[in-house]
Amino acid sequence: MGRIAFLFPGQASQAVGMQAHLEDYPEAAEFLDKTYEFSGLHDLTSIISQGPPEKLTQTNYAQPAITMVSIATLRILQVAGIQPEGTAGHSLGEYSALVAAGILMPETAVRLTRIRGELMQKCADMYPGGMQAILGMDLDKVTEIVNEASAKGPVGVANMNSTGQVVISGAKAPLEYAGKLCAEQGARRVIPLKVSGAWHSPLMEDAARGLEDPVREAAFFDPGIPVVANVTANYITGVEESRELLIRQVTSPVLWADSMKLMVENGFDTFVEVGPGRVLQGLLARNRDVTVYGTHDADALKKTLDELT
């Protein structure tokens, strides 16, 4: 085994009851007990554990919920003595990665993701839109199509997740047109995503502006381990850059494939997805040079603890 990295998932990883297998671990249960204290949302604990799913999917609930569960999972790994040498988080997950690196305190991350979620939900309500995953088409071709579709309104590339998986985001009409063109011009599949807004698109500019003061007023610390940022696919150099990148991230594409490429090139060969879901595990599954672990259910968490301690 070489270098271990912790990866943190973003939105769409949430599921009702996603905290249940963590509650057997006192360090996680203690943290989850602070959900209301940290988030300020009196009903978030019950929404995480009992739903309804449509409420948990709303970004103003999903963001602090996923962050709470991801950090609770992180505490289990830390208590077990599993220490990463680097970290990254997909979109929302970057806040949890900053906690793992010591840049943010857990309560600060939860509070900021609650604010981020509220701001993004307001934008989604004002400027309806969505996202689509384009499978089996290279980035250059998707970008060409998106540029053509943007004549009909705001639409752009939101996530570059892996070779052959690009996510586009924007207003309804240009988004649907871009998806139609991708399907006609050779994409293997075009999948509308179950999200409540056009994340990482120009439609989120008001949310980015609204996040500026909360992020700049929050306490940030120098990184204890390297963190790869979504916006640059490079290592964060310090506190001020970390702040600026969180603000820019709201409207910028997530350069996930390039982020993973950098980490693998730098000797990271063991990756742990810390939190709900298994999307990030799937994106690395084809790389035979790395070993990928999950924590999304009791069996996956036990395997990770057994093999890495």
Contact 60, 115 (CB under 8 A): no
Nearest alpha-carbon partner for 273 in 283, 287, 265, 264:
283
Pairing of strands 3-8, 86-89: parallel
> Is 91 annotated as catalytic?
yes
Return the closest-CA partner of residue 156 out of 205, 121, 94, 118: 205
Q: Which of 13, 39, 91, 242 is catalytic?
A: 91
Q: Provide the sign of the torsion angle of the four alpha carbons 149, 283, 11, 85, taken in this order.
A: negative
For the question of residue 162 being annotated catalytic, the response is no
3-state secondary structure of 134: strand
Q: How far apart are CA 172 and CA 178, in angstroms?
A: 10
Question: Which of 169, 200, 201, 252 is an active site residue?
Answer: 200
Catalytically active residues, by annotation: 91, 200
